Amino acid sequence: MITLALETATPVGSVALMDGAGRVVEADLAQRSNHSRTLLPTVSALFAQAGLTPQHLDLVVADVGPGSFTGLRIGLAAAKGLAWALKKPLVGVHSLDVMAERLPQTPGRYCPVLDARKGEVYTALYCVGPDEAGRLQTERLTELLLLRPEALAGLVREQTVFVGDGLVSYGAMLEKALGPLYLRGDADLDFPRASAAARLGLARLAAGALSDPALILPVYIRLSEAELSVAGGR
């Protein structure tokens, strides 16, 4: 099973190829360039590096958000194009779940926080703990949320490890509001990565996730500027 994952929800984008044994080759997208300019050339270079062609693909995975509206549209359009052309399944994964996939398997509460601009963050609360068989698993405890940081602080009742680029702007405020309940996680976990998206997408496909490219849609949570303008004009 060869899986291609596209991660374009944030400025720190990436692309990954994973084989059936879980071996991954991954490449970053240029942060100072629009993902539309770098995504497909990076995909082509990654196939060459792995000694593969698109015809080897069995599954395409795309981050569907929340995140950058433009980045999500670019990534999902590319993923749908590949899936349709190659007649392969496409699985969508959420950016916050992809971040949670990268968390250390240490029991506790975790909270990825992505900067949504306009004084808000994309976030959700997660718990790493044992399942019925005693194996550690990561569980999302809330819906995907768009909140002001003060509202997020009001949801936290236990000591929680925070990660994400939203902490650049709001970490100090959260730490002040939460005191000992606030723990800063490893900065290397601050963004979703395509390799984690590939693992999560493969697991979701095995669990029966929707995989028809025509039905996979971006998850923005917030209305676009155009939608806000229309709504405001009513």
If asked whether residues 86 and 125 sit together in one domain, one would say no
CATH code for the domain of 67: 3.30.420.40
> What secondary structure does DSSP assign to the chain, as a single string?
--EEEEE-SSSS-EEEEE-TT--EEEEEPPTTS-HHHHHHHHHHHHHHHHT--GGG-SEEEEEEESS-HHHHHHHHHHHHHHHHHHT--EEEEEHHHHHHHTS-S-SEEEEEEEEEETTEEEE--EEEEE-TTS-EEEEE-S--EEE-HHHHHHH--S-EEEESTTHHHHHHHHHHHHGGGEEE--GGGSS--HHHHHHHHHHHHHTT----GGG-----SSPPHHHHHHHHT-
If asked whether residues 17 and 32 sit together in one domain, one would say yes
Bridge partners, 143 (sequence order) = none
The domain of 109 spans 104-189
Report phi then psi at 216, rounded to 5.
-85, 120
If asked whether residues 135 and 206 sit together in one domain, one would say no
* Mean pLDDT by groups of 10 residues along the chain of 234 residues: 96 94 91 77 95 95 96 96 96 98 95 97 97 91 97 98 98 98 97 97 93 92 55 47
If asked whether residues 175 and 206 sit together in one domain, one would say no
Q: For 11-52, what is each residue's pLDDT tens digit?
A: 899 999 999 899 999 999 976 557 778 899 999 999 999 999
If asked whether residues 131 and 183 sit together in one domain, one would say yes
Q: What's the total number of domains in the chain?
A: 2
